[in-house]
Amino acid sequence: MIITRPTLKKTASRLAIAGMLGALAGSPALAQTMDAALARAYSANPTLNAQRATVRATNENVPQALSGYRPRVTASADIGASITDGDTPFNAQGTGSPHSRSTTRLNPRGAGVQVDQNIFDGGKTRSSVSQAESQVLGARATLQNTEQNVLLDAATSYMNVLRDTAILNLNRNNVEVLEEQLRQTRDRFQVGEVTRTDVAQAEARLSQAQSQAILAESNLKTSIARFRQNIGIEPKQLAPGRPVENLLPKSLPAALNAALTAHPAIIAALHGVDAAELQVKVTEADLYPVLGVRGTVQQRYDNQFFGDNRTSASAVATLTIPLYEGGQVYSRTRQAKETAGQRRIEVDTSRDTVRAAVVSAWGGHEAAKAQITAAQAQVQAAETALAGVREEAKVGQRTTLDVLNAQQELVIARSTLVTAQRDRVVASYAVLSATGRLSSDTLKLKTERYDARKHYDQVKGLLWGTQTPDGR
């Protein structure tokens, strides 16, 4: 028993190949490419842009810390009214009026300027500046790690849409083939060549194929939604995705060495240790003497009598020595030391996490390559088996169920190959991410690079102004 529409078999083969190549319908010249999708995600992904904003906010810690070296200038002014009403008794010689009454009305007012300059604060400002710089470097490393995650998610979304589109097409084509199979089985049942059981088997297999097609369509809709979330646009015509194996280390030991040396997650953790250790020094500085200079200039009017005008100025050196503050600073110092210890442990955790990610991604990549070879052989064997079963069914050596099983095995084999090819591409990006090298620079994406240092240089030396460098 063989299907009399040879175009269905050829169509199935062509469709499987198109699905495995990962191309959606449309002209290749107009297709969206993986690089274009990643460039879009790099420039427009909200998660990545939010992390960039976090870096810019962290940059402001440096001018805040540097302010400890600069003077504090304050101005003050006051104005008021006073009335003095009193009686003066007669003088000691008994001459003059028995008493005299006087009323004095004044408008005391004045203005002044005070300048406080720090001379020595136990190294608190110096440590605060170093801590702020470590926080900036840590934020940049975290941004690099976020960039890696965003690009990996975008590449995965891209390949998921291609995979699910191909699988949906395979399942829809399978439905068409089984519909034709059922039609021919019913025709043969009418002439007594097959039994009612053969018709029921064909109907059951068609219903199963229709259910699988519905599930494949649902999976594709989910992948499209993820694509929109990660990349920011709807997928239209996606060009084939290709692995980035030329950018990967040559061996697993080389990948581990690269990851443990330069992965941004580890670098961010190391800067976290630096910032935590500097926090210990910042806290301890509250136990040390503070030396400063205070200068004041004041101008007063009507202070004691009407029309007086006085100017005063002073310069005073101040020394503050903390003796006992209830134990708070000692407790905060111990707390900072414990936090620093926690940060050191987190570095070890980051290293272990990165190591596991490299090994896992490398293994997944190697497995995907092997699966492609096996799946290709499986597809070829399934196609040969289906053709043979159909020929044998023509002469009564095979049943309808044998043909249906062979058709199902071919669909499964083609779907397995599509999935393996998708896994190979995604795994190559995962290895690049696990080694800490997945970035717009490494991929040479055609998009404007975000330079985190630009904003830092713009705000580091600012002495005043509330407007951000971008005009907000």
In a domain, 179, yes or no: yes
CB 225 within 8 A of CB 160: no
Cα-based angle 280, 286, 292 (whole degrees, multiple of 5): 130
**Among 69-83, 404-418, 458-472, which stretch is predicted with the lowest mean pLDDT?**
458-472
3-state class of 246 per DSSP?
helix
What's the pLDDT tens digit per position in 313-345?
Answer: 999 998 989 888 888 899 999 999 999 999 999
CA distance 129 to 16: 61
In a domain, 88, yes or no: no
**CATH number, domain with residue 393:** 1.20.1600.10
In a domain, 373, yes or no: yes
What's the pLDDT tens digit per position in 269-327?
Answer: 999 999 999 999 999 998 999 999 999 999 888 777 677 788 889 999 989 898 888 88
CB 408 within 8 A of CB 205: yes
Please report which confidence band the pLDDT of residue 3 belongs to, taking 50, 70 and 90 as the band edges: very low
CA distance 453 to 56: 9
In a domain, 306, yes or no: no
CB atoms within 10 A of CB 413: 23
How many domains would you assign to the chain? 1
> Domain containing 161: what range?
6-70+138-284+350-460
In a domain, 96, yes or no: no
Please list, residue by residue across 273-293, b when 16 or more beta carbons sit within 10 angstroms of its beta carbon and e when fewer do: bbbbbbbbbbbbbbeeebebe
Please report which confidence band the pLDDT of residue 150 belongs to, taking 50, 70 and 90 as the band edges: very high
CB 208 within 8 A of CB 177: no
472 Cβ contact partners less than 8 Å away, ≥ 6 residues apart:
none
**Amino acid identity for residue 148 in this structure:** Q
What's the distance, Cα to Cα, between the start and end of the chain in Å? Answer: 75
In a domain, 126, yes or no: no
Q: What is the side-by-side strand order in the sheet with 290-301?
A: 72-79, 109-120, 290-301, 309-320
**Amino acid identity for residue 354 in this structure:** V
Tell me what pLDDT residue 90 has.
56
In a domain, 308, yes or no: no
Q: Name residue, tokens 């250790």.
A: 277
What's the pLDDT tens digit per position in 97-141?
Answer: 556 667 777 788 889 999 999 999 888 999 999 999 999 999 999
CA distance 162 to 150: 19
In a domain, 470, yes or no: no
Which pair of tokens denotes residue 3? 């299907």
What's the pLDDT tens digit per position in 54-90?
Answer: 999 999 999 999 988 899 999 999 888 888 776 666 5
CA distance 149 to 308: 72
Beta strands in 90-138 (DSSP E): 99-106, 109-120
**Amino acid identity for residue 207 in this structure:** S
